[in-house]
Each structure stands twice: as C-alpha cells, then as structure tokens.
Amino acid sequence: REGTAEVGLAVSATTLSLVAVFIPLAFIPGVTGRFLNSFGVTMSFAIMVSLLVSFTLTPVLCAKWLRPAEPGKHKEISRESRLFRPIDRGYVALLSWSMKHRFAVVGIALALVAAIPALGRMVGASFMPEDDRAEFEVNVRFPQGVSLERVDSILKDIENVIRPIPDVAGLLTTVGGEGDAITNGQIIVLLTPHAERPRHQFAVMDDVRKAVLPLRDRVRISVDNPPPVSGSGFRAAEINYNVRGPDLGMVEKYAGTIQRKMESLPGIVDVDTTAEPGKPEVQIHIDRKKAADLGVRVADIAGTLRTLVTGDLVSQYKEGMELYDVRLRLRESDRRSAETLARMTVPSSTLGHVRLDNVVAIRPGTGPAQIERQNRERQVTLLGNVATGKALGDALATIDREADTLGLPPGYTTDVSGRGKLYAETVGGFRTAIILSLVFMYMILAAQFESYLHPLTIMLSLPLAVPFALISLWITGITLNLFSGLGILLLFGIVKKNSILQVDHTLALRREGVERGEAIVRANRERLRPILMTTISLVAGMVPAAMARGAGAESARSIAIVVIGGQSLCLLITLLITPVAYSLFDDLEVAWRTRFSTWFVAPSWLSLRRAKRHTS
C-alpha cells in the first residue's frame, strides 16, 4: 500500500500524459487518419486499462508473492550487484559534475535540438516505408496508332530481357485496361520468396531499369513499385507533379521545361509525362452550305459514317442459351480507306442520294489521346520515381525549387497529387497531432503536479529524443515516413516517463525537508534503477520488430528503430538535463517570488481600509 501510494502520482501522470499523445491521432483527417485512427484508439484504451491493472492487480500480486528476507540472513538486491554498482557510481559522478556545470549541460542540449533540421534533411522524408513486397510493375506506353502485333512483339522483347535477371520468379503481362486501347501495357514481375532471396526488391528493380534501357528508344518504360494505397491512374509513379493553366499549349511548354529539369536531377528516375502526341485519325469537315443546297442533313452524314465505321445493331442471333448481337458495318479494308469512304452515299431530300465527297472534305489529322483537366483547367502531369536510397520529400522539394525559377505567369499553377499529396497530408496531420499532444500533455501534467513550471521541466526531454531518433533512422537507412513519425509520437510518450519519476521523487523528498541539492542527487539515484529497468525491457521488446524480415516488415522496423534508438541513445542526456532543468527553474521561481512578489501584494492603504471595514 505504501509503495503504490509513493508512485501513484508518477504512474497516473505517466499514463494520462501517454494517452494525451495518442488521442489526437484519432482526429487526423484524410488517408493518414484512416491509418492512424484505430491505432490511436486502441493504444489509448489499452493504456487506460494498464493504469487500472497497476493500481489493483500489481499491488495484490506483490502482496502475495514478494517475501522479505528471513531474519539474520542478508538478501542481495539488484542495486548492490556487481553490475549495477559501477553504473550507480558513474551516474552519480556525472550528475554531480552536471549540477556544478549546469549551463554546459544546457548548451549541449540546445546544440542537440538545433541539429534537428540538419538531421532531418540527412534522413529524408516520404509517405510510406520501402516495403519489400516481392513484386513490382514494369509499365510500358506505346506510340499512338500502334498495331496489336507491334505491341505483342515489343512486350515479348521486354519479357526476354527481364526473365534472365536473378531472383525473378515469373511475369504477368497485360495490355490496355479501364478504357485504354492497346497503347498501355503492364508487366508484373514476381520475385522469389524473401527467405530464398538475398537481395532486396529495390536492387532487383535497379537491375531491371538497366536491362530495359536499350528499349527506351522504342517505347516509354518505367519500373514502378506498387502504390501502398490503391488509386486511379495507369502508372504507380511515386511522383505526380501537375502543371495547370488555361492554354494547353503553354501548359505543355512549361511541363516540358520542368520535365527536362527533372531528368537532370539526381535521385529521380523513370521521368515521363501524360502529354501524348496526337492520335492518328481521319477527320471529316462538312461543307454546311453545300450540304444544305443538296438537301443533306448533318445528322444523316454523322449517322451514315457511324454505321459504316463503328457499325449499328441490326439484329440478334441466338445459339442455344447464348444471344449474340449482329452489327452491320464496312469490311476492315474498306474502313481503313479514305477513298472508299468518299465514294459512299448519304440520303438527300432533293436528289435521293449524294456521294459523300460532294458535301465533306476528308483529311488525315490527329486527335487528343486523352484530355486531362483538374478544377476546370487543362492539366499535364509529370511522372517519375525516386531512386533507391532517396526520399520522396527531398525530390518534391527540389522539383518545387526548379519550377519556381520558371516564373509561371498568373493563371498557371503547379501542385502534387498521388503519393506526394498523401505525403503532404501526412506532414500536416502529424504537425497537428504533435501540437495537440504537447498541449494536452502540459495540461495533464500541470493538473497532476499543481504547477506551471514542473511540466516544462518534464517536457524538456521530448525535443532531446528527436535528434537521437533521427540519428538511428539515418544509420539504418530508413526515411522519416508515416510509421517512423508514429514511432516518434510513441517515443514522446515513453521518454517523459523517466522525467516524471525523477521530478516526482525530488518533490517528495523536498516536502520531507531534504535540502534541494541533496534531494536532486538522492531522488535521481534512487530512481535510476527503475528507469533502467523500464528502458531495457522496452528496448528488448522492440528488438524482434527491428529484426523482422518479409512483407510488411519495414513498417514495423520504422517504429522499432525510432523507439530503440531514441530511447537508448537519449537516456543519459535526459537523466542529466532533467535535474539540471529542475534546479534552474527552481532558481527562477525563487527569484520571481523574492523580486516581484510585491507586484501582487495589496498596497498598505488598501489593506488598512479592508481591516477597518472588517472591524466595523
């Protein structure tokens, strides 16, 4: 009962402030919120249940299982073991030095915080981690008007180039899809299982890019990783950079300039554009005045051409249980001949029938392969992938800088879609979640400790965990993505636990009358063992996730690496900065009370007047 009461405030403050970290995740909008909503709710509920367990089941088990040493026998405890004694002496020596050189410790802490932007640029940012799914796509775009035989021949050549590459287990080739004719083809490359393959998927993708390089002069080829979130569009490109404006010609001009800059930028591969050359077609130009003189209606011309080229449903044929449509149109050889079409006749109200070439002009031309619009504006999308080892956020920032140098006129804009848009939503969502978490955390700690300064002392450990988390990501080659950002939020909830234990015990000793310096050293020394116990157990619990391999392992590794690196590497600096910060804030509070307390004391004449009124 006494032990539970001693740590009751620390446990409740730790638990409630940890819930304050995860509750904001449930209110993040967009796709990012869909990922994190259930995680935040589940973690919050589980943490609150753990608070109930710590105040009920854990004390009961301690009362039943823990036994004191028998009289006359000495029972060695862990704080007196050979392993812990040198750690204890070393920490006390460092703490004593830190208390004597407080501003040096503060300078080290400020330097670590100031290094966060540089470390963030070194790590890079993206939407999702680079998971090895044992499959990827090779997307092929053919010129407009290409024949099916030509498409089949080129795809077979690409298959023959990819198939001999090591670790390739199979290929699945498709042509067209979702309204496309035969100008788009896709080869899904299946790899051998993770346990049988020594190389990562992205190494195989780099080999495929090199292998298909000689074929790029015939078709447009890209090697894409399947998107983590299904969406529309033919290509699964990581970069979707849009150029919009009122005039299509100017939009294509600016897009072409940005595309050439993208091709020269390091870290961006498979650059392409959705702008397509004109699709070959035969255009019919009607001489409306002449058609009116000959009694030919425009609708009759359009209907006749539709019947001749596309065909009309004239009957149905039933064979057994199957019913087939019967369409009437010209033979293929006649449909492809402009001279044959010119000799066709159309109905006339005055002459009966009139040859088509008497009322129309037949010319070869080109038509748009697709018309792309966004917000009622013409749009061209630039596509690309990020090279292995590079980050999506860095690539998008570089493209933005290059686009800004063009000085686009008013009415012409650029933005990102696809994974780039999801990445921007993720950054904004985490920014909101972190701000709300810090506010809620401060409110809870201020209510628990009944102080405005002690929560600041505790929360100073949060920014110190970020640089060590980034260092661990940089060492392991993981980007700052959705799951590593989630790991940083989790790290915030864990790191402050140590500071709560330190500050809470220091305050308890001072309430007992212990002098401040002695209380700081004694409290931190007595709380060193539980801090090490929780830290080591947490790191050990994350090791299996950090060593995971296989499909989806990168997501778990991103969280585990952040927690392991941030918690273990920042442990020493937080164990030192918290007592130093406590002493500095305590000095500030004492100075405030001694120098400025008279500001809040009523003047003597007002006090005298109140005393007289009270007496009367």
pLDDT over 60 at 603, yes or no: no
Average pLDDT over residues 146-168: 87
* Confidence bin at 79 (pLDDT 50/70/90): low
pLDDT (mean) for 444-449: 86
The residues with which 352 forms a beta bridge, in sequence order, are: 348
39: confidence class by pLDDT, cuts 50, 70, 90: confident
- What pLDDT is attached to residue 81? 66
Is 592 a residue whose pLDDT tops 60? yes
Band of the pLDDT at 300, cuts 50, 70, 90? confident
Per-residue pLDDT at 145: 73
Kindly report the average pLDDT of the chain as a whole number: 82
Q: What is the pLDDT of residue 179?
A: 53
| Predicted local distance difference test score (pLDDT) of residue 233 | 45
Q: Which of 569, 493, 499, 567 is nearest to 527 (CA)?
A: 499
Over residues 209-238, the mean pLDDT reads: 75
* pLDDT mean over 254-271: 86
Q: Can you give the pLDDT at residue 596?
A: 61
With a cut of 50, say whether residue 421 has pLDDT above it.
Answer: yes
* pLDDT tens digits for range 92-103: 899 999 998 889
- Rounded to an integer, the average pLDDT of 520-549 is 87
- Lowest-pLDDT choice from 98-112, 416-430, 501-515: 416-430
Strand partners, 470: none
The pLDDT score that the predictor gives to residue 78 is 57
The whole-angstrom separation of Cα 455 and Cα 395 is 39
- Tell me which of 30 and 319 has the higher pLDDT: 319
* Residue whose pair of structure tokens reads 């009622």 in the numeric block: 376
pLDDT band, very low/low/confident/very high, at 57 (cuts 50, 70, 90): very high
Nearest-angstrom CA–CA distance, 157 and 219 = 12
Res 77: pLDDT? 59
Quote the CA–CA distance of 461 and 454 in Å, as a whole number.
Answer: 12
On the question of pLDDT at 231 being above 80, the answer is no
The per-residue pLDDT for range 172-195, each reduced to its tens digit, is 988 876 555 677 888 899 988 877
Q: Which two tokens stand for residue 200?
A: 């990562």
pLDDT of residue 72: 58
SS3 of 289-310: HHHHHCCCCHHHHHHHHHHHHH
Lowest mean pLDDT among 45-49, 155-159, 569-573: 569-573
Question: Rounded to an integer, what distance in angstroms lies between the CA atom of residue 566 and that of residue 560?
Answer: 10
Query: 272, 233 in Cβ contact below 8 A?
Result: no
Of 84-93, 121-130, 227-236, which has the strongest mean pLDDT?
84-93
* pLDDT mean over 107-114: 90
Q: What is the mean pLDDT of residues 127-139?
A: 82
Tally of CA atoms within 13 A in the half-sphere of 451 that contains its CB? 15
Please indicate whether residue 614 or residue 403 has the higher confidence score (pLDDT): 403
pLDDT at res. 342:
81
Task: Give pLDDT, residue 71.
Answer: 64
Give residue 91's Cα distance to chain centre. Answer: 39
Of 67-81, 139-153, 346-360, where does mean pLDDT reach its minimum? 67-81
Find the range with the poorest average confidence among 4-8, 367-371, 528-532.
367-371
pLDDT at residue 601 greater than cutoff 60: no
Is the separation of the CB atoms in 203 and 194 below 8 Å? Answer: no
Residue 382 backbone phi and psi in degrees, to 5: -95, 135
pLDDT value for 606: 44
Instruction: Tell me what percent of the residues of the chain surpass a pLDDT of 70.
Output: 91
What gap in Å lies between CA 356 and CA 346, rounded to an integer?
6
Provide mean pLDDT across the span 390-407: 85
**Backbone angles phi and psi of 274, in degrees to 5:** -85, -5
User: Phi/psi at 10 (nearest 5 deg)?
Assistant: -65, -40
Q: Report pLDDT for 604.
A: 47
DSSP alpha helices (H): ranges in 344-481?
Answer: 392-404, 419-449, 454-459, 461-476
Q: What average pLDDT does the segment 145-155 reach? A: 83
Q: Could you give the percent of the chain with pLDDT greater than 90?
A: 3
pLDDT of residue 151: 86
Q: What is the pTM of this model?
A: 0.73
Residue whose pair of structure tokens reads 């539709």 in the numeric block: 306
Cβ neighbours of 123 (radius 10 Å):
24
**In 3-state terms, what secondary structure has residue 282?**
strand
Which pLDDT score, from 0 to 100, does residue 114 have?
A: 92
User: What is the C-alpha to C-alpha distance for residues 478 and 516, in angstroms, rounded to an integer?
Assistant: 44
Contact, 503 vs 458, CB < 8 A?
yes
